[in-house]
Amino acid sequence: MEKPMRRAELLSVLDAIHAGGTADVAETQTLDFKTQKPRSVQDTLEDLADAVACFANAGGGTVVVGVADRVAGPDAFVGHTLDSDGTRKRIYELTDPSILVEVEAVTHQGGDVLAVHVPRGVTVHKVKSKMPTERVGTSCMPMSTHRIASLVAERQGDDWSAHDSGVEVNAVDDVAVAVARSRLERSVDPRRRERARGATVEMLRGLGVVTERNTLTNAGALLFRGLDQFPVLVAYVFRRTPTGALAANEQLSGPLVTVLQRVFDLVEVRIDRTSVSVGSGQQLQVGDLPDAAVREAVVNAVMHRDYRRTDRVTVEHSPTRLAVTSPGGFVTGVRADNVLTTSSRTRNGSLAQAIRGLDFAETAGTGVDRMYAEMARIGHQPPVYQADPESVTVTLRGGAPNASLTRFVSTLPADEAEDADMLMVLLTLLTQRLVDAREMTPRLQKPDVAETQAVLDRLASDEVRLIEPTRETRRNTFPRYRLREEPVAALGSAVAYRRRTADQLDRKVIALVKEAGMINSRMVRLMLDLDVQTTSRLLRDLVDRGFLVRTSKATRGTSVTYGPGPKAVAGQDASVRPADRPQSEELDLD
């Protein structure tokens, strides 16, 4: 469930609009702006009720009345004449089932607005005599009959996969049972290995797919026999190029256990692999698409899809791309921009339990993290999700692994090498010098900047030592961070830029002044390709530390000249710094 927008958050958005932004840009999945209808207050309240029902059918949100959505600056604040209590009452009367909203009068320097905070609905809501809609992105979209049925079941806690299928336990497919036993026998869990050696009915009971009547649940029938309403469970197609002709087209039916195994086999045989040396004579065979990411994408599709629809899951494969589409939208509260960090939710609890019990999927709540981590650890961008109320598609884009990055990650402690946050920050810093919490928050899909800052603090700690704050920003609330010198050296060609430390720059300036006898800021700036501010900071630091001395009376610009200081003449090491100037700091070159 979405959290109601806090007053401080709303005021911040209003401030941005007042400063020259527009409301349509500020709108999100959970925030909408409206103006009062010119005809009558009643028309405005009906329009508001429509928006409230739309938000309630999604995850809830806030509707703000009194701000024009395509007008910039102070002129956007057009005001309203609505009464808070009357608005709350009329929305309650117009919606079916009735929705009780929180209405808040907000005073802002631009003008008064009315904020209507909408909770997540308890079922599917509508305005009387109208078709239901739900919030998708920044629009209210009509709901199909399939979507309405799915949402009603979800909000009533109705798990289709736990229903009695009426299929007798002895009707299971022998091959599916054999595949399940084989998977259980390879499990690291001794209880699962023991289950593999027991009677079939006991194995099925252990997976939670047998009812009290000794029949299979829908999950059990789907996994071990197949159901007639799903003539095709998964469609697998392969193209040698993303838009080329079909090289393989398989419509897979039967027990889901065997269908999943078949999909894995079809993908695996077509993935190119690269041998990466990780030292000590060890070689890793790394696929252009990581095996674990592929498995999670496929398993998540069949595990979380909407089985009240009879559509098939589709797997579209080319050598460096895999796109998996599953019928039905995300469950309420899960979106493409929070799927990494939202707690695990499924509409098919019984099926999910059985699939995890067979070691097809990760522990609840870790599957998406695993996909992100597996892609990032070999240098690929994270999975891309696209979703609407009718379907969800996840796309993995691969290619030859980044060998230097893969080698570096293989040297990390297991906890760090599997941590999606750490790997996403590392992947970002391979191509850009600096990051901060505000920039990384949407990439890590964290709910707020403070949580992202905690991630960066951990990665900068003495225990991890991956990144460090820059000298100029280390005391800021949200410092800018760079890779430490040691990881840069270990990553080698994986880093797309050269990291120049203050020590390296110091040595070059001291060598120049010794050779030339006299230097100025222009000489240093041209030789080292620095900006004016960084050059001034570098020269001032060397003067303060005794490696340079001023040799002119000028105080500003290129007229200021410098000669060797006493420490430079004595040949002292410029990398030895006072305690408040740590060694190997990097100047901010961006």
Interval 181-230: pLDDT, tens: 999 999 988 989 999 999 999 999 999 999 999 999 999 999 999 999 99
Interval 347-363: pLDDT, tens: 899 999 999 999 887 65
- Strands of 220-272, DSSP E: 234-239, 246-252
Interval 372-391: pLDDT, tens: 999 999 999 999 999 998 99
Of the candidates 293, 481, 272, the residue with the CA atom closest to the CA atom of residue 372: 293
Of the candidates 165, 173, 176, the residue with the CA atom closest to the CA atom of residue 219: 165
How far apart (Å, rounded) are the C-alpha atoms in residues 416 and 486?
16
Interval 103-123: pLDDT, tens: 999 999 989 999 999 999 989
Architecture in CATH for domain 7-143:
2-Layer Sandwich (3.30)
**Contact between residue 24 and residue 18 where contact means Cβ atoms under 8 Å apart:** no
Long-range contacts from 358-367, C-beta under 8 angstroms, 24+ separation? 358/180, 358/183, 358/184, 358/207, 358/223, 358/257, 359/183, 359/184, 359/186, 359/187, 359/192, 360/183, 360/260, 360/295, 360/299, 361/295, 361/296, 361/299, 361/300, 361/303, 362/296, 367/296, 367/299, 367/300
Cα of 397 vs its chain's centroid, Å? 15
In angstroms and rounded to an integer, the radius of gyration of the C-alpha atoms of the chain is: 30
Of the candidates 256, 260, 375, the residue with the CA atom closest to the CA atom of residue 321: 375
Specify which residues 174 forms β-bridges with.
none
The pLDDT score that the predictor gives to residue 2 is: 53
Look at residue 300 and tell me whether its pLDDT is greater than 80.
yes
Instruction: With residue 259 as reference, give the H or E element that holds it.
Output: helix 256-268
How far apart (Å, rounded) are the C-alpha atoms in residues 509 and 166?
83
Among the ranges given (284-298, 507-521, 527-541), the one the predictor scored with the smallest mean pLDDT: 527-541
- Of the candidate CATH numbers 3.30.565.60, 3.40.50.300, 1.10.540.10, 3.40.50.700, the domain formed by 157-402 belongs to 3.30.565.60
Exposure b/e, 284-312, CB count within 10 A at least 16 = b: bebbbbbbbbbbbbbbbbbbbbbbbbebb
Tokens of 92: 């309650």
* Comparison of pLDDT for 224 and 284, the residue scoring more: 224
Tokens of 117: 């905070």
Give the position of tokens 């207050």.
41
Residue 575's pLDDT band, with cuts at 50, 70 and 90, is low
Q: Domain coordinates of the chain in residue numbers?
A: 7-143, 157-402, 412-494, 502-569
How far apart (Å, rounded) are the C-alpha atoms in residues 570 and 572?
6
- Listed in sequence order, the residues at least 6 apart from 414 whose beta carbon sits closer than 8 Å to its beta carbon are none
Instruction: With residue 164 as reference, give the H or E element that holds it.
Output: strand 164-168
**Contact between residue 575 and residue 584 where contact means Cβ atoms under 8 Å apart:** yes
**Contact between residue 307 and residue 229 where contact means Cβ atoms under 8 Å apart:** no
SS (H, E, C) 469-495: ECCCCCCCCCCCEEECHHHHHHHHHHC
Interval 442-501: pLDDT, tens: 999 998 999 999 999 999 999 999 999 988 888 999 999 999 989 999 999 899 876 666
- Output the CATH code of domain 502-569: 1.10.10.10
* Domain pair 412-494 / 502-569, same fold: yes
% of the chain at pLDDT higher than 70: 95
- Of the candidate CATH numbers 1.10.10.10, 3.50.50.60, 3.30.70.270, 3.40.50.970, the domain formed by 412-494 belongs to 1.10.10.10
